[in-house]
Structure formats: C-alpha cells, structure tokens
Amino acid sequence: MNKKIKVLAVAGIVAFGMVGSNVANAQKKSKTQSGKTPAAAPASAAPAAKKEGIKPYSEIITAKARTTNGLFKTHKVDDKWYFEIPDSLLNREMLVVTRLAKSPVGVKVGNQQYGGEQLNEQVWKWERRGKQVYIRIPSYATKADANSDMYESVQNSNLAQILANFEIKSYNKDTTGVVIDVTDFYNGDIMAIGATDAIRKAYKITTYDAGRSYIDTVKTFPINVEVKTAKTYRAAESPTDNSNGAVTFEFNTSMLLLPRVPVKARIMDSRVGYFGQSQIDYGTDAQKAERTAYIHRWNLVPKDTNAYKRGELVEPVKPIIIYIDPATPKKWVPYLIQGINDWQVAFEAAGFKNAIIGKEAPTPQQDPEFSVEDSRYSVVRYFASDIANAYGPHVSDPRTGQILETHIGWYHNVMNLLRNWYFVQTAAINPEVRKAKFSDTQMGELIRFVSSHEIGHTLGLPHNFGSSYAYPVDSLRSKAFTDKHGTAPSIMDYARFNYIAQPGDGVTKLYPQIGEYDKWAIKWGYSWIPGDKTAEQEREVLNQWVLKNAGNPLYFYGRQGTSLDPRLQSEDLGDNAMKASTYGIENLKRILPNVEKWTFQKGKDYSDLKEIYTEIVGQYNRYMGHVLTNVGGMSENFKTYDQAGPVYAYLPKAKQKEAVTFFGQQLFTTPLWLINNDQLSKFDNGTLLNRIKSVQANTLVNLLSAPRIARLLDNETKNGTAKAYTLPDLFADLNTSVFAAGRADAFKRNLQRAYVDRLGYLMTDNADLPPGFPVEAAANYGLTPINVSLSDIRPLVRAELKTLLTTIKARSAAGDAITKAHYDDLSVRIKDILDPKK
C-alpha cells in the first residue's frame, strides 16, 4: 500500500434513502472520548507549515502547475494531481457516479459492458480532521429530524464509512482551503471508482496492474469534477485475448455537488407508479419505526408562479434537457429526439410547457467543454451491441429522490427485436412489414416509440403492466378507437403491437402512445403545489386527486413482477386474455404459411426464416402465459382506509374455467398449424417440434404449480365451491382435455406423461420455499407458500391418479403397439407413485 494515501474501506452502491437533517450539524454535535468536538481547526489558527510538515503552497503548486478552476481547483504538477478543497465545501454531500467510458470488445456483464453504462453510485463527504482529509460515505437508510428526541440515537447507529484518507500537503494561498494529492487514490485499485465485483468475478481478476494504469484527464466545472482513468487488471479470463493475461477499461468518475438545501420530496403512493427510495424514519409520531418513501422526479419549478396559479402553461426554471450521443447513426437522431419531445403533452397536464427537450449533442466547436460522461448532462448513449435492448435509468439525490441526470442505454440491435415483434404481431393486417427489411421511416417510428418508453423511466415512471387491461378486446379491432387511443392508456406498459386486430378491420395505429395514464402520472408527480406546504400536507392534496380517479381503469397502475393478477402482464393486450389470445393465434395462422415468401432475400440463407418461425412459436407461448395467470388469479387494487372494497379478490369461477377451456382448445389439442413441413425442411434439424412439446408440457406444469394450487384451495375455503374454481374442478377439466378420447399422437402422449409426472411431483415434494426466502415476499409476487404434505393436495392428487388408472386400463387393451405401450407405461408410472415401495 502506498504510504501517501491509505484506502481504509471500499464500499459498493449505497442504498437510496433520505436524511432529514444537515449531517454536518450532527458532526458538530458529536464528541471525542475527551469530550472535545473534533472539528477542523480554523484556518487562521493553523500551525506553522514547518511544524506540521505541511509545506508552503508555492512548494506544492509550483510554477509548472496546470491549474483549472471549478468546484475544486485542480492542479497537475508533472505526474501528480492535486485537489484544492475550500473549507466551504468540507462536509458537503457530493453524489459520485462511476461509469465505463470505454471497454474492450466482448465484455459480457449485464449493464456493465459498454461505454456510458453506470457501475457505481455513492455519496461522498470530504471531512478534515487535523492534518488529514477523509472521504466518508454517509448512509440514508435511517433518519430522524434534527429536532427529534431520536436524532442522536439515529446518528449513533448510522456511522458513515471511511473510504480513504489523504495527508494535507499545503494550505491554499489565503488559508481558506487545503491541498491534497489524489494521484494514488484515482490511480489505485478502489472498487468504488473502478471494476465492480461482478466484473472481477466474470473475468477472474487477480490483481491490479498500476504500471499499466493512469489518470487520463481531470476536469473541473462549477458544480462537478470529472476524472477519467484507464485501469488494467491481471485476469485469467480476458474478454478478448487470454494471452495478454489482463483486461483494460476506461472509467469516468463524476463528483456532483448536491444542493445545500435539499428540494422538497414527494411521498410515494402505491396507487400511482413511480420509482422511489425508502428509509426507516424514527422521527415521526408513530408508535413504531416507520418506513417512509419518496418518489424519484426532476425538480420542476415554474418561472412565473402567479401565471401557473392562474392555470396558464408556464416554462420551468430549469427544463429537462436530454442530448443524443454523437456516436448515434444520424438517421435515427430525429426519431430519438421526437421520442423525448413526445412527453411535452404529459407535462402540459402538470402545468408546464417546454419542460422536456431533446437535442443533438453540441460539436466540439460549438461547446468544447461538453462531454457525454459529464454528470451535468443527460444523454442517450448509443451502444454498438448485438443485444436487443434499451433501458432508461436515472441518478437521484438519495436525500430526496430528486433526479439529477440520466444516461439512457440504447443498444444498436434493439432494431432486430422491433423488426421481429412488429412482423410477428402485425404482418397479418400490415402489408408494409411483409419484407425482410423495414424502410428507414418504419424503423424510425418504432425507434421513436421505444425512445418514449425509455424516457418515461428517466422521468421516474416504472412499467405499468396493468394499463392495457383498460381497453376492451373488441375496441382494439376498431380503427376509430385505436387511431385516438393507441393500444393502451400508458406507453409504460409492455403493450407492444396490436396482435388482436383482424384483416378487414382497417386498424393502422398499432402501438401505444403517450396516453391518459401517462398524463395523469406526470400531473400527480410533477405538478407544482402552491402554498409552501410540507410533503405531508401535499400528500393530502394528492390523495384527493387519486380518490377522484379511483375505479377508472384508464388511471389504474399495476406493478411489475407479480403473477397474482392477470391484468398485470407483459406483452398482453385487452381485458380478456382468452379472447385476445384467440385473435392472436388466428393471425399467427395467417402469417406462418407466408414467412418464407415475406422474408425472401436473394442469395441469402434461411436464417431469417428460422428466426421468424421461432419467434412465432415464442409468440404462441406468450399467449399461453397470458391465459395461465387467470387460473388461481386475484385482482390487486391497492387502497387506503378511505376507500371501500377489497384490495385482493379472486377471479370469478367462470373466468378461471374459461382459461382452462382455452388450453383444451388451443394447446392440449395438438396445434398442428404450427407444423409447416415445407418451411421446416429449410432450417430445422429436429428441434422445433420439441419446442412445441415444451410449450405444452411447461404450461401444464405451471398450471399445476404448488403456489397456484394453494390459491385454489384458499379460494374454496373463503368462498365455497359454488363461487370458487377448485382443484377438483381443475383436475376434471384437465382430464377431459389431456386424456380426450381417441388415439393419442406423439404430442398428446408427451402431454399425458407430463401430467402424470407432475402429479407424482406433488405426491413427493413439499414445495417449501428456498431457505431464508421470506414468506410474505414470496406471496407478494405470486409464490403463495404451502406445505403440500399437510394440505389437501395429496389426497386430491391420489384420487386423480386412481381415476386415471381406470381410464388408462380401458385404453391399454386396444389400439396399436405404440398406444398400448404408452398406456402400459403410464399405468406403471402411476402405480409407482401410489405405492413407491413396490
């Protein structure tokens, strides 16, 4: 370890939260063991430099120094870098974000592989103690107001980690600041500003090679300091060439001064979708440790508050400006910008005009200081990647949730995903996509659509998987309706393209737009509320807004990640999955026979045919998933005490039975339409039919999952057999379709074996949750816990197996050799399950 700098702790990403007081004040109150306050000595009382070993300013910052003024003065003297930190910035909170600036080809760590992707985020405080300056990393997981009786106790249990320390080399010229050497810190092996743990593990990094590492640039601006470094690590598995035994990255670390006075936070509400942060607040009057949460949002304040109060549209003091990476192909820039500007209409609902603006990045001639890594600028970063993806993150103040900037990740190959899905979901009604390559205008409009979706995330909006349920299925077959409303009330749903509309309907608007929910969510989150109200007082106003829209499906928010509610699904459309999926399958039946003709490319192999054919099977599988969630499904409507009605309610019995009937018609009856031998002979080497079998078997297994069955049993207990769709009902309906009369083909035999094997699993496995997995968390996401051995599952499964034995016995006596062998085998399997000792 270099003697000039000691790295005392290495921290990962700090959990978001909020501190309700000035941490510097807390430090002034803290005492050493001797009872003295450990504050830095006043500059005027500083001992002589010679006595402390601190040299005169001119000996450290010599005439050779290259100095830049900004947040900190930075000095480069020969190969050394110095920070000159004014006393006024000691103990100020600064948000520090480290991103990849450049990376070698072949890096494969999710969201940590391309220039511009974020690696780490922390808050730093530069603190002086005697002859040393420390970097501390405060935590915001807990809080208490400075005037609360709990304040001191919270501070005693929330000690900020020390990341590093530095010797003071000199005082500045007027003794109002200190000079430290940061060379070895930024050029050292510190995870907070270098390779993450995930990268180190992926490439088996052993040690840091300082000889092949360096500080490239240090730039300082009025509110931030940007440091770019190149770091080389010895690695057993380089992403490029293992013969080098090493991997090199370029990193950019942004240090951004946070506001001295944090902006007012807005309290989260589970009925309106926003990303946010939470902390345990010990300073409330509640008789418990209360968890509070704030949304993530940009700070928009009207320039003219009086005009705003009169209901006029007003420009914000500081609009949201998002630049397009100069590395972006020029033909896509206008569409990305339009996707940003499409949100203007939503901000108008919140009373603002010109609140969000998309721009091309300035050229070096226009603005030599501009950099896509600079934390002052929000940027859409374009990645030369074969990954079909895009994502919209943001960086926020952990004290309040204020969004400070965003670096949106745009992967080049997202175009392939758009092309495939748009083709598979709309080609039956959309002649313009019946070709191997879309026009630039077609692809540009799809890029605009995805750009708008990702911008929504940067504004603080998560996915709203419940939005598309607001529109009746048949409305999506109406040209007039879709021209006006698109396919969902929110572009934040994963409601891709209109697979429901049928030939002859005349529908041409095939994907979502900024909709009614989006306008409502921005109004709720960004409206400026006059009167200098506290966050709690604003919460009361906002609650009334929510109550006014309660029950209207246009304004419904459905969270991502749960399998409880069939409304909250990815890639679905409409208010009835069975009806919507039936329309979708009819369109797939129209598309599949024409894939070879519509993807024809002279002189090229059949890889496109294989890709689209496989996508059709995948889309078919999605429809099965949409229907599956209806069985054992519950509606989830978050409410407060001032709202009547249930939060959770089981789906009607008829709706669940409709779902199982759908499987009997569309899945368990062999989907022979998926087998086009003429096309399969061009690319399939014996794998695709097994994929179709897997769709059947996997859906059946999921239908008989323990968590789903747990809800069927719970529903019967609460609502009785007259109202509940029960496990015996499910077995009876499955028996009818899976073991339908007639000769069983290879698909049906595979399905019947899967059914028996799944029943065997339920007879032997207790389906307990993984060790340490919280029961409430599991149930919250649809993994309803149940101890199978103590439940009614096994008696009912045993009865079903006995019923199957009777059915099989009658069929095994007749039929051809494969049929007889199949049923004899099933009989043996069932007997082994019922009596494993034999």
d(CA 385, CA 412): 5
pLDDT at 523: 98
Counting every residue written for the chain, the total comes to 838
Dihedrals phi, psi of 601, to nearest 5 degrees: -140, 115
d(CA 245, CA 772): 39
The secondary structure of residue 556, as a DSSP letter, is -
pLDDT at 43: 38
Q: ∠9-10-11 over CA atoms, to 5°?
A: 120
pLDDT band at 37 (very low <50, low <70, confident <90, very high): very low
Torsion of CA 348, 349, 352, 356, to 10 degrees: -60
pLDDT band at 103 (very low <50, low <70, confident <90, very high): confident
Q: ∠391-392-396 over CA atoms, to 5°?
A: 140
Q: Is the pLDDT of residue 774 over 90?
A: no
pLDDT at 153: 59
Which tokens go with 197? Answer: 């743990």
pLDDT band at 564 (very low <50, low <70, confident <90, very high): very high
Which tokens go with 512? Answer: 């979502």
Query: pLDDT, tens digit, for every residue of 46-70?
Result: 333 344 579 999 999 999 999 999 9
Average pLDDT over residues 802-825: 87
The secondary structure of residue 560, as a DSSP letter, is S
Domain residue extents for the chain = 5-29+73-257, 296-414
Please enumerate in sequence order all residues whose Cβ is within 8 A of that of 247, keeping only pairs 6 or more positions apart, or say none: 104, 203, 205, 232, 233, 235, 238, 239, 240
| Helix or strand run (H / E) with residue 805 | helix 793-812
Query: pLDDT, tens digit, for every residue of 511-558?
Result: 999 999 999 999 999 999 998 899 999 999 999 999 999 999 999 999
Which tokens go with 669? Answer: 């009856």
pLDDT band at 389 (very low <50, low <70, confident <90, very high): confident
Q: Is the pLDDT of residue 21 over 60?
A: no
Please enumerate in sequence order all residues whose Cβ is within 8 A of that of 227, keeping only pairs 6 or more positions apart, or say none: 186, 193, 215, 217, 218, 219, 252, 253, 255
Query: pLDDT, tens digit, for every residue of 108-154?
Result: 787 777 778 888 888 999 999 999 999 998 877 655 555 555 456 54
d(CA 651, CA 655): 7
Q: Is the pLDDT of residue 222 over 60?
A: yes
HSE of 19, CA atoms in CB hemisphere, 13 A: 23
The secondary structure of residue 361, as a DSSP letter, is P
Quick one: how far is CA 207 from the chain centroid? 32
pLDDT at 280: 57
Could you give the residue ranges of the DSSP H alpha helices within 178-304?
183-186, 197-202
Q: Helix (H, G, I), strand (E, B), or coil: what is residue 424?
A: helix
Task: Calculate what percentage of the chain has a pLDDT beyond 70.
Answer: 89
Which has the minimum average pLDDT: 40-44, 404-408, 466-470? 40-44
pLDDT at 448: 96
pLDDT band at 285 (very low <50, low <70, confident <90, very high): very low
Query: pLDDT, tens digit, for every residue of 325-374?
Result: 999 999 999 999 999 999 999 999 999 999 999 999 999 999 988 888 78
Nearest-CA neighbor of 491 among 551, 552, 449, 443?
449
Report yes or no: 663 and 738 within 8 Å, Cβ to Cβ. Answer: no
Q: What is the mean pLDDT of the chain?
A: 88
pLDDT at 143: 53
d(CA 596, CA 609): 6
Which tokens go with 366? Answer: 């226009």
d(CA 452, CA 324): 14
> Is the model more confident about 244 or about 670?
670
d(CA 342, CA 345): 7
